[in-house]
Amino acid sequence: MLLVEHGLDKEGHYVGSDPLQLARADVYFSEINNQDGRPKYVPRSVQIDLEAGVCNRIRSGPTGALFRPDTFLTGESGAGNNWAKGCAELVDSILDIIRRQTDSCDSLQGFQMLHSLGGGTGAGLGSLLLSKLREEYPDRMLATFSILPSPKVSETVVEPYNALLSIHQLIENCDLTICLDNEALYDIALRTQHIQHPDFESLNSLISQVLCGVSTSLRFPGQLNGDLRKLGMNLIPFPRLHFLMPSYAPFFDPKARSFNRTSVDDLTRSLFDRRNLLVACDPRFGRYLTAATIFRGKVSSRDAEHSVRELQTRNSASFVEWIPDNVSVTYSSVPPVGQPVAATCLANSTSIQELFTRNMTQFSAMYKRRAFLHWYTGEGMDTMEFTEAESNVQDLVHEYQQASHLSASSWSADIDTRFQYQEATVEEYEVEEYAQEEEVQEEYAEEEQ
């Protein structure tokens, strides 16, 4: 889908006709010259899997010639759906490939990771890689598209363990996490696409639409556009509350595409409708802290702005009042593939705590019986790591609950209290440091005598 939007064929050669397609193509692609002199666009990506099967299918597939061979890295035995098998020995090789990719960047802004939290590679190795990237690139943005497991679309029984351990790492090491929920994807495929038994290919098709929508402002020039850091600045009021709920419109049956006509108001309403969320949460049971809307295609930027403001005014109780102008609007004239208009929304809502609570319930049901725990302790993990992860996620849920009930006055008072606490802490530190200096000087004087 990215190739079509940028006018590229499956080998990375430009076959489009719109100059906008290549205006900012270097964000996701690097340009090289083929042996025949034709320019070729190669993805700025690294493909990692601890099992060679998936990467081999990409290499031998229709887009195999698109990727550089040295950007694939595979293990030998796989992770066996075990979070503890992070395969630390591969991390250095992965970081070497990433360093080579970053060296070719003119201005490195950050990283985007696409991974699943249910298995061993995306969850275990992904968490380990995030911590290493945070150490090596502390001033760069780390954003993830994290697919959370669901009982409706499940491959393994230990997914609750893997997911909770990964969420714990995402809280600590990530700047921006866009949550994708297999349960919500399954329902959308069933309801709008009329697929009786959705498989992973169907779900990936839905995810690709959202990924293209979210990255629009990075890949194309446009009015009211932004970058990765600006997106984080607008959406994250507190560092730990960086988990976002994506939504997309319109979702409909491809066979009925020609019978649908969507207005700007329809798009806006759909973006804040729980049925279009890619996370199985109900925003009616929480409040929006912030949101970013991205409109694409033949849409007036003025109409988009007006429609969003009108919806926010009508549903003011659903938005916190202590963050002014907390819904941003981005517009790009480049339409998505096969649609004249579309819109994507990233919302930071306190209702996302449902997702974590549901995962904690599944985790607790297994952990209190110590079910399958020996697979993790046998790889060197300690049971304290499980309780620490659970405690951290519980704290996150509590913080979202607090943010939902904050008012403008209480938020201001909370900031004053924190500032006073920081001042008091600094004073205590200075007094303690001065006392230590005096003790050292007295000991030195005694030794001199």
Domains identified in the chain and CATH numbers: 2-356 (3.40.50.1440)
End-to-end CA distance of the chain: 80
Compute the C-alpha angle 184/189/192, nearest 5°.
Answer: 110
Question: Quick one: tokens of 156?
Answer: 């393994």
- Say what the pLDDT of residue 310 is: 96
What are the Cα distances from residue 235, in Å, to 208, 270, 313, 403?
22, 20, 19, 14
* pLDDT tens digits, 212-238: 999 998 898 866 666 888 889 999 999
Q: What is the mean pLDDT of residues 288-310?
A: 94
Computed on alpha carbons and rounded to an integer, the radius of gyration of the chain in Å comes to 24
Q: What is the mean pLDDT of the chain?
A: 86
Q: What are phi and psi of 114, to 5 degrees?
A: -110, 120
How far apart CA 8 and CA 25 sit, in angstroms, is 10
The yes-or-no verdict on residue 447 having pLDDT over 60 is no
How far apart CA 21 and CA 11 sit, in angstroms, is 16
Compute the C-alpha angle 391/140/173, nearest 5°.
Answer: 10
- Say what the pLDDT of residue 421 is: 39
* pLDDT tens digits, 418-434: 434 344 444 443 444 44
Question: Quick one: tokens of 189?
Answer: 């495929």
Highest averaged pLDDT of the listed ranges 201-210, 343-352, 400-409: 343-352
User: What confidence category does residue 165 fall into, taking pLDDT thresholds of 50, 70 and 90?
Assistant: very high
Q: What is the mean pLDDT of residues 323-351?
A: 92
Q: Which residue has the tokens 């319109």?
A: 250
